[in-house]
Structure 1
């Protein structure tokens, strides 16, 4: 990979700064250790390899070696922040990094028919600021996800290049295979992120090298699937549970080994893989559901529609995906040495508090996804202050720090150290909702609604069941889309959901979002607003890559569906 000089630190040698030798668990992620040796000096033993493999994921990948500090301080506040903005879960008024402009729709039509137009549409903003100069000034929004994920990928490449030369204790093959599975899993994750967001990308599986062989996003997703499947195959070959657990405990930071986090069994990890494989399908196909129409179509898109075969594949994968009690990959903040901070490391943290003072403000469109009487709503929101802004960002709602404490009810956000559980990859709720949608689309509406009810019960919603009420497919999908928005807040999938449902596409091409709540700056409450987001469905390749590393193939680095 090639990056502008300011960020040219992702080579194999440079990320050795993440490593520590002979330290306690609480210091695992201390990137400022002046005694951190070079790779060749440090990674000559098992302990050094574990530390390199852990730091490559959590520091290079998710903390971006400090380069995600423009908005919060991690991958889960900055790149995921853009996704939550474009999903219309949150709004923002800050000027840095285009956080205000990246998610502004092209136009809205208020209840009285008034059309309000955005003078700076998203596509124009992306193209205007996709330059190396804009990146240097913190204005290139599409740069950071690419930065984080190719850094993560290269870190895993480096570990894989070293693992066979390490002498492991115990059952050496099982420990080595655990490290390999770790790297294959995170390479699958990185390629999934790139392929789900960018029109084109690079397949690079050799540490410290680059190429100009750009491929379309579908090929990147195929490579993600290859590595997820390779992780599953490698896990199957592990023969010593004890040595597997010993190795994995060194790879996952100890402060993440709580709650739904921890040390997954081999079978649990394989179910996590199945959930991610299912996500790769649904996130990168269309399943339009526009204005209550399950048969809607999108005329111009960078991808294709789901088929019955696709839905059956999703059903098979999710049936064997994450279960309620499975351990998954999570993150927690600590008072030091963490890859996420308590008050800035996640979208939830940046949304928690009185809305006038938070970076993100919860959206009125997000709030309207709650059904009447939902305990998750009453536990997590109040109307103590109204934030007023033009266009769509006025909101009456504030996120209560840590919730009201209602027993058994999910908490949306907290800025207390260690309190918020970040879901890094898949979750039970995501798996169940994909399974629900597959069932609905295959004609098993009641089975799908039963899963929606199960997710609501799991999060303590306390609402009336929708299964057994005779809902049509359209009404069932309404419940599904509402629950997906509510249950998966901040988990990095909601923009993909809005895109595949067609909501982010131009109304002229069959897209758009209808029946929305929007409050004007004057305080007028509109409850049937049409929103034409018209977002670029798959982003251009960042200029920091495409300029320094021009394409050597026929694949273009700008999405040709947007002029």
Structure 2
């Protein structure tokens, strides 16, 4: 049976993250329907409904997938894609500070200020949909609230489950813990601080540092592991998993408890790795990453995936809010970055079958900055491509992937003195994705060359899968140039009249890009307006 979100119980209780005046959901004060969560059918629909927490009515924009907006922010700040439009604050999110041409000419962005200044200028409820800070925060706390309701319902004495009731409860418990941990992982990896909410329908003003939020994510992941250990794989398990995962997210590919546990270990490794700068990582940290990743996702595992329904009306993409829809010609709201394209090696099949050329190329779109330009247009998956669709084809991982897991192990090896062992894993990922590239292990590359091979592969292999900003941040790329940040040799489509000597048309030119982005975002004012921080709260603003 297909599982569509139109069948969901549409209760949404916000944990103080956002009020109706900024992002509209179903009435957050509407009480739970009587006995809605006292049957297996009710639990299944409510579990499936966690996805619906990603949909909200955004002022001036209508019904929108706010979680996908958050994914797009990560993609454009990681400079694997760009968005030149002001909707949802995108054009300011990925507005680089300065671009230095080969002549030494410095081009400051049209707003002349850094990202922090621009985004803080829109950090108010009065800014409506332009406040970029609100989206990831809101979607994650909606998810946490729904998970809290689910977990609380499992202790309701009115709950009646047939058969092995304890096994069924553990399945639902693992589901609630997984999503709660996932949401805390994202909050802790993106914002300066957050709140820990364990009671359904409640919030508090006890803000804690993002490192404490990450510890809470780890606690929930450990609880999920313990719960999964107690689950028996039976017909009930398969039936419940098919019921709580939407059909457009490949619910027929059952994620077994062991596969689920391996996703948890991969996410634990990611949370550790992406929240420390390379300069802060110790040998012990890298060993911990390796230990976790060694227990992580395997090549043949089914994982939780984010897909689309062909109708576009029965899923959370709403017909356009998915990385492969946004990038493609049907919506064409985001565009592949030239800086991503230059990280493909010559002869990479993924470039050859993934992209064709725009004619003419995009150049300084809308006059909003030189980084808003590209020569490359993705080819639809249904036409043999990889990164875009016109028919709602394709999925991305909700959390980690096999490739990311392997590349975490590769980086740990490369940064602890084992370059060839790390390159073996880089080669393995390239083979897994059918890149057709010759192997680089065993070719005598030095440590610096090996790391560059790895850097390119991590960018390419994980394109649009939610890691680009995390990597740019931890590698130091997004820091101010005065602190060693930025990217040299970054390809920019430069209008010929800006070059020395001037040239006709536009020219792909290696430049120095200074991003100057914030490491962790402010807690949105939308939250603070309604949830007064306690006296012991850490800094909530940059």
TM-score, with normalisation over the residues of structure 1?
Answer: 0.86
Question: Partner of 2:478: helix, strand, or coil?
Answer: coil
- Judge conservation of contact 1:318–1:435 (CA < 8 Å) in 2: yes
Establish whether residue 486 from structure 1 lines up as the match of residue 441 from structure 2. Answer: no
Number of residue-to-residue matches in the alignment: 508
2:225 is aligned, of 232, 238, 244, to 232
Establish whether residue 535 from structure 1 lines up as the match of residue 517 from structure 2. Answer: yes
Q: Summarize the alignment of residues 461-540 of structure 1 with structure 2, pairs less than 5 Å apart.
A: 461-522=435-496, 523-540=505-522
- Judge conservation of contact 1:77–1:350 (CA < 8 Å) in 2: no
Question: Partner of 1:544: helix, strand, or coil?
Answer: helix
- Judge conservation of contact 2:140–2:184 (CA < 8 Å) in 1: yes
- Judge conservation of contact 1:72–1:78 (CA < 8 Å) in 2: no
Partner of 2:131: 140
Partner of 2:93: 102
Structure 1 position 77, deviation (Å): 3.0
2:329 is aligned, of 333, 347, 353, to 353
Question: Partner of 2:93: helix, strand, or coil?
Answer: coil
2:419 is aligned, of 425, 439, 445, to 445
- Judge conservation of contact 2:52–2:316 (CA < 8 Å) in 1: no
- Judge conservation of contact 1:352–1:414 (CA < 8 Å) in 2: yes
Partner of 1:20: none
The separation in 2 between residues aligned to 1:441 and 1:197, in whole angstroms, is: 24
Question: Partner of 2:488: helix, strand, or coil?
Answer: strand
Distance 1:248 1:394, change over 3 A: same
- Judge conservation of contact 2:56–2:64 (CA < 8 Å) in 1: no
Question: Partner of 1:383: helix, strand, or coil?
Answer: strand
Question: Partner of 1:451: helix, strand, or coil?
Answer: helix
Structure 1 position 378, deviation (Å): 0.8
The separation in 2 between residues aligned to 1:71 and 1:460, in whole angstroms, is: 40
Partner of 1:4: 19
Question: Partner of 2:292: helix, strand, or coil?
Answer: helix
2:371 is aligned, of 388, 392, 405, to 392
Partner of 2:316: 340
Structure 1 position 68, deviation (Å): 9.8
- Judge conservation of contact 1:436–1:452 (CA < 8 Å) in 2: yes
Partner of 1:427: 401
Partner of 1:301: none
Question: Partner of 1:479: helix, strand, or coil?
Answer: helix
- Judge conservation of contact 1:379–1:404 (CA < 8 Å) in 2: no
Task: Report Cα offsets for 1:72-128 as digits up to 9, x if no partner.
Answer: 942453111111111111122212222112111111111121111121321111111
Distance 1:4 1:521, change over 3 A: farther
1:157 is aligned, of 139, 148, 151, to 148
Task: Report Cα offsets for 1:453-505 as digits up to 9, x if no partner.
Answer: 11111111101111111112211111111111111111111100110000001
The separation in 2 between residues aligned to 1:421 and 1:78, in whole angstroms, is: 17
The separation in 1 between residues aligned to 2:538 and 2:179, in whole angstroms, is: 27
Q: Summarize the alignment of residues 63-74 of structure 1 with structure 2, pairs less than 5 Å apart.
A: 64-67=55-58, 70=61, 73-74=64-65
Establish whether residue 220 from structure 1 lines up as the match of residue 179 from structure 2. Answer: no
Q: Summarize the alignment of residues 345-424 of structure 1 with structure 2, pairs less than 5 Å apart.
A: 345-353=321-329, 358-385=332-359, 386-389=361-364, 390-402=369-381, 404-405=383-384, 411-417=386-392, 419-424=393-398
Distance 1:342 1:208, change over 3 A: closer
The separation in 2 between residues aligned to 1:404 and 1:469, in whole angstroms, is: 36
- Judge conservation of contact 1:12–1:207 (CA < 8 Å) in 2: no
Partner of 2:267: 276
Distance 1:446 1:528, change over 3 A: same
Establish whether residue 314 from structure 1 lines up as the match of residue 309 from structure 2. Answer: no
- Judge conservation of contact 2:25–2:57 (CA < 8 Å) in 1: no
Partner of 1:457: 431
Distance 1:342 1:427, change over 3 A: farther
The separation in 2 between residues aligned to 1:110 and 1:350, in whole angstroms, is: 30
- Judge conservation of contact 2:84–2:90 (CA < 8 Å) in 1: yes
1:90 is aligned, of 56, 81, 92, to 81
Partner of 2:3: none
Partner of 2:301: 326
Structure 1 position 189, deviation (Å): 0.3
1:121 is aligned, of 97, 103, 114, to 114
Partner of 2:123: 130
Structure 1 position 556, deviation (Å): 3.6
- Judge conservation of contact 2:67–2:135 (CA < 8 Å) in 1: no
Task: Report Cα offsets for 1:162-185 as digits up to 9, x if no partner.
Answer: 012222222111110010000111
Distance 1:262 1:67, change over 3 A: farther
1:171 is aligned, of 155, 164, 176, to 164
The separation in 2 between residues aligned to 1:257 and 1:485, in whole angstroms, is: 26
Task: Report Cα offsets for 1:182-204 as digits up to 9, x if no partner.
Answer: 01111110000100000011011
Unaligned runs of 5+ residues in structure 2 are: 1-14, 497-504
The separation in 2 between residues aligned to 1:375 and 1:238, in whole angstroms, is: 42
Partner of 1:181: 174
Task: Report Cα offsets for 1:329-386 as digits up to 9, x if no partner.
Answer: 01221115533337512122111128xx721111100100100000110101111321
Establish whether residue 245 from structure 1 lines up as the match of residue 227 from structure 2. Answer: no
- Judge conservation of contact 2:178–2:224 (CA < 8 Å) in 1: yes
Unaligned runs of 5+ residues in structure 1 are: 17-37, 288-296, 298-304
Task: Report Cα offsets for 1:251-299 as digits up to 9, x if no partner.
Answer: 11133226xx721111111001000000100110111xxxxxxxxx5xx
Distance 1:72 1:490, change over 3 A: farther
